[in-house]
Structure 1
Amino acid sequence: HLLRFLLDQPTLDLVHVNNYRNFPSDIVSLWSQRKGIPTVVSANGSIYAYRYMPSFPLSKKVLYRLHDAFVSAPIRNAAIALAVSCAEAKHYEEFGVPRKKVRIVPNGIDLDSFSPGRPNDDLRSALPLGSKLVGFVGRLDPIKGLQTLLKAFESVSQQTPGCKLLLVGPDFGMKRALMSVVHERKLSGVIFLGPVSYDRLPNIYRTLDVVVTPSSFEIFGMSTLEAMACGKPVVSTRVGGMVELVQEGYNGFLVKPEDDHALANRVIYLLQHNDSARRLGENARKKALEFSIKRTADLTEKAYFECVSSDSQRAEFRDAQNTHSA
């Protein structure tokens, strides 16, 4: 069906391919380059993310390397590569994409939906009055550092009686192991909420006192940004794109991956110092305002224009953009 679709297409000005090591993306990239159509590629963390997955199968690593040896031309020969962070830009360069082809286009979010506000009482109503609520939002996946989070929460719950840990997101093969840790360590304050619809996320963030992202790697940190947009203080790991979102002591805290003691200490501090937590949350919102959907769209449009226009048109477009920005 994909090949038939491509053969039926009239002449295209540009093709934008999402993800790498993906059969449809490979086919479309090869087809477009064979036709002489400029290609924009968005790897979305798919180039080297597997390096940071502790349980990533060796057999898959071998397959990835074989793929890279024989089918890497589509990404290396793309007219422009879009990176969501400086961390991903470095991945492109390591992979052989010239830096002059890479454009930083951060992810954007709906800043009206993800905004500070009073949560409804759905989550809080089942908890004792005044309970503190720490939360994680994302896949229950080995790369997310959830074993470290549970170790940290053991200390947090001892220092902050009645505190609860809310784990929000789909199971990617870790829930059973995490539940075993919860039972072994008798962590009665851990709540597995499971996957939720996207429109419920803003209310969940507003309900939390602190949002934690303890990943071993994040190419960007979407849930961290969403929490920041809702005015919440965050504790994240000093990895990948996180360091471009979280400024230590200004809008959150950064700790080393797998350091449960540092993670616990930062969470405890925020739970016990309301004024500091409020200040960091306000600054988090200010930082999040830099990541609107409009900005992402404008930067993507600019990259498209670079691909399809002449030198004189590009100069005219840049002048118009600069005038608009001023």
Structure 2
Amino acid sequence: APRLRRILAGVDPHILHVRHHSLLRISSTLLWRNKLPLVVSVSTPPAPGPLPLPERHTRAVFAVNDPLAEELVSRHGVPRSLLTIIRDATFVDENLPAEEEKGNPVVGFMGRLERDRGIQRIPGVARRVLERFPQAEFMVVGEGKEDVKLRRWIRIAGLSSKVHVAPPAIDYRKILSGFRLLFSPARKEGLGIFSLEAMAVGKPVVAAAVEGVFANIKDGMTGLLAEPENEEDMAAKILELLERPGMARALGENARELVKAEFNLEAFSKEMDQAYKLALAPV
């Protein structure tokens, strides 16, 4: 918060946009000093309990899809009148060449290393996949409070030479481009920004079939959906794309086209611009 106050001291903002609900408490001091209208983006389901929205300042809450919006109302006390649906978006680089796989096919995970992301399923799924497809490798890219536990689970399972854990990288698209597929075992999901990013570079996604993923992961078209918490089913879906590289490429191409058509930055920018104007309108 002190650093943010120093940054704001040299500018004259008209609105404060908190891009993740976990930063709401930090933002409260900025609101008190600057008396700014507040808008909040919520892209993943919050922890249980009311969302700590400053009542006097909050003008809008942006949810990435309808199921998440309903959860914010029913479980987190967000007034329905504040909610607007604005889906995440990304760009597709038309000049990006298709990345050729080098070496063994890689199953990737990218995101926070927390239980809600389903990371406790990674060792069990990897073991099942490697029993039938030993040339595969797993790459886990992320950080979080379960980092140490995940590394221990991998070591205990005897998978340290095949399941690698790496910190987040700035050039994450280059990493995604080297995957055969992205694996998302999350127990709950908003939309899945890294799934969108993988799709934007032409990679299919194997994900647990939970609320939030259905908008972008079309089963059998842009990826494959597995039964949540079912490691055997998750492994089977991953194996299908490892053993059928042509299918993986076709799903990846479909995924890229879906991002271009439905999750493009132009539409996102227009929606956000309109939402800002409404938030700044006199109350």
TM range (shorter): 0.7 to 0.9
Alignment of 1:301-316 (within 5 A): 301-309=273-281
Q: Note closer, same or farther for the CA distance 1:307–1:253 as it changes in structure 2 (3 Å cut).
A: same
CA distances 1:196-235 after superposition (whole Å, capped 9, x unpaired)? 4322x22221211121011112222111111111111110
Q: Percent identity?
A: 27
Residue among 157, 165, 174 paired with 2:138: 165
| Counterpart contact for 2:42–2:62, Cα < 8 Å | yes
C-alpha displacement of 1:164? 1.0
Amino acid at match of 1:110: F
Report the RMSD for the aligned CA atoms in angstroms.
3.2
**TM-score, scaled to structure 2:** 0.83
Aligned counterparts of 2:46 and 2:240: Cα–Cα separation in 1? 31
Which deviates more, 297-306 or 82-91? 82-91
Amino acid at match of 2:162: V
Determine helix, strand or coil for the equivalent of 1:243.
coil
Aligned counterparts of 2:122 and 2:238: Cα–Cα separation in 1? 10
C-alpha displacement of 1:38? 4.3
Determine helix, strand or coil for the equivalent of 1:197.
coil
Q: Note closer, same or farther for the CA distance 1:220–1:162 as it changes in structure 2 (3 Å cut).
A: same
Aligned counterparts of 2:17 and 2:157: Cα–Cα separation in 1? 48
Determine helix, strand or coil for the equivalent of 2:183.
strand
Alignment of 1:169-318 (within 5 A): 169-170=142-143, 172-187=144-159, 189-199=161-171, 201-289=172-260, 290-309=262-281
Aligned counterparts of 2:258 and 2:66: Cα–Cα separation in 1? 17
Aligned counterparts of 1:80 and 1:97: Cα–Cα separation in 2? 10
Matched, 1:107 2:88: yes
**TM-score, scaled to structure 1:** 0.73
CA distances 1:143-183 after superposition (whole Å, capped 9, x unpaired)? 2212212211111111112111111223x233333333333
Aligned counterparts of 1:177 and 1:113: Cα–Cα separation in 2? 40
Determine helix, strand or coil for the equivalent of 1:97.
coil
Aligned counterparts of 1:107 and 1:97: Cα–Cα separation in 2? 20
Matched, 1:97 2:94: no
* Structure with larger Rg: 1
Amino acid at match of 1:25: S
C-alpha displacement of 1:50? 2.3
Aligned residue for 2:119? 146
Aligned counterparts of 1:212 and 1:228: Cα–Cα separation in 2? 12
Residue among 67, 80, 89 paired with 2:60: 80
Aligned residue for 1:40? 39
CA distances 1:268-288 after superposition (whole Å, capped 9, x unpaired)? 111112222222111111111
C-alpha displacement of 1:245? 1.6
| Counterpart contact for 2:123–2:157, Cα < 8 Å | no
Determine helix, strand or coil for the equivalent of 1:211.
strand
Q: Note closer, same or farther for the CA distance 1:5–1:260 as it changes in structure 2 (3 Å cut).
A: closer
Aligned counterparts of 1:8 and 1:226: Cα–Cα separation in 2? 34
Q: Note closer, same or farther for the CA distance 1:144–1:43 as it changes in structure 2 (3 Å cut).
A: closer
Alignment size in residue pairs = 278
| Counterpart contact for 1:110–1:292, Cα < 8 Å | yes
Which deviates more, 255-264 or 239-248? 239-248
C-alpha displacement of 1:309? 4.5
| Counterpart contact for 1:135–1:165, Cα < 8 Å | yes
CA distances 1:66-125 after superposition (whole Å, capped 9, x unpaired)? xx4xx8452697332211222331233223334343211122223228956225x8xx4x
Amino acid at match of 1:90: E
Aligned counterparts of 1:139 and 1:208: Cα–Cα separation in 2? 18
Residue among 26, 34, 40 paired with 1:24: 26
| Counterpart contact for 2:154–2:163, Cα < 8 Å | no
In structure 2, runs of 5+ residues without a counterpart are none
C-alpha displacement of 1:4? 9.2
